A and B are shown apart, each in its own frame.
Chain A
């Protein structure tokens, strides 16, 4: 099956620092990856759609300068939370499509829990 990994799984940082989260598709190539944010006991909210070799498409209300996304290869997308603040503390989840297997099916990473002090 298709496997997506995220690194790190958990990160604690000081306010004002930047944090990079990696999302990798391990056994398939992903033209499109997605970044979600999940607050406790709430839905996953789509932040942005990341396309290999082009700029990410951000959802309304998501600050593109705050959440930098780079999709440099077909197996790696990164999300950088710049100048993180406590309100950025959340669970960040990525997913990747694998059109070779099935359309409209996404494969999710295990998530990264960010705590900003």
Chain B
């Protein structure tokens, strides 16, 4: 069946460090891929998405590229800020809105 695997956290970085959170997926067909972010005490928010191979999603300095050959959708940011501290979820959807989430990766950014 379809599944999403993302790196375990927590990830702790200093401000302005480079961030990578790995995400790989298993799916039949051609899923859309997403990164959601959950800030403390809030609901999940869509961070970025990509709907086909080689698409790059980007938002707020974050980006991820849909790599069909490696079934990956790694999240990157060149310079993190304290305000980026949150839990990040990789997810996929096939056909409509039914979405499968990874376990989430907690990011702590220190000043």
Contacts and interface: CB of A to CB of B under 8 A. Distances in A.
A, B from the same assembly: yes
A111 B89 CA distance: 15
Contact of B97 (A4, A43, A104): A104
B45 A108 contact: yes
B43 A111 contact: yes
B44 A41 contact: no
A44 B101 contact: yes
Given A43-B103, A46-B99, 17 more contacts: A4-B43, A6-B43, A32-B97, A41-B104, A43-B101, A44-B44, A46-B98, A46-B100, A93-B44, A97-B97, A104-B97, A106-B46, A106-B97, A108-B36, A108-B44, A110-B42, A111-B43
20 contacts: A34-B97, A41-B104, A43-B100, A43-B103, A43-B104, A44-B89, A46-B98, A49-B97, A93-B43, A93-B44, A97-B97, A104-B32, A104-B49, A104-B93, A104-B96, A105-B46, A106-B46, A108-B44, A110-B41, A110-B43
Interface of A: 4, 6, 32, 34, 41-44, 46, 49, 93, 95, 97, 104-111
